[in-house]
Amino acid sequence: MAKLVTGTDGRTWTVRRRMVWTMPATGDDFEHDMDGGRPAAIVIVGTLALFYLALLSWKSAEVPIPFWIKLAAVIVLLFFPVRWLLRRPWTLVAQTPGSYDKDREHWVGTVRGVTRAREETKLIIRSIRTRGTPAWAEGPLQLVS
């Protein structure tokens, strides 16, 4: 998604957001990245597979599986992939080519989650329209030169 926004100083800004498929390496997230990981995911998936294998082996022709158990199985199977997709990091970019009296600016930031990315994009657009700059004190954007 890219949007052209005109600031209060007359400059035209391009604001866009993009999902990041690989996690950026930062010092703040180091402990979080080491927690769990692939071995924990393998154990959880293995346990779920054993549970469903036991459930399917229990099923016989005369004993039907209740609907709520099937629904619970679908919810459990879809919970982690949907959560993973919704919590992906997004890169937000606001840039302007500049003008004859203003320099070119390029601002970049990262937020987590699709709803937060939408919200921050709206705040960036509002900030450009009212202040002429995409950044504010609590915003995720940093000036890149």
The ranges assigned to domains in the chain are 2-19+88-143, 38-86
What is the residue whose two structure tokens read 């959560």? 83
Residue 115: predicted pLDDT: 93
Tens of pLDDT, residue by residue over 17-49, are 999 877 666 555 555 555 556 777 788 888 888
The pTM score is 0.69
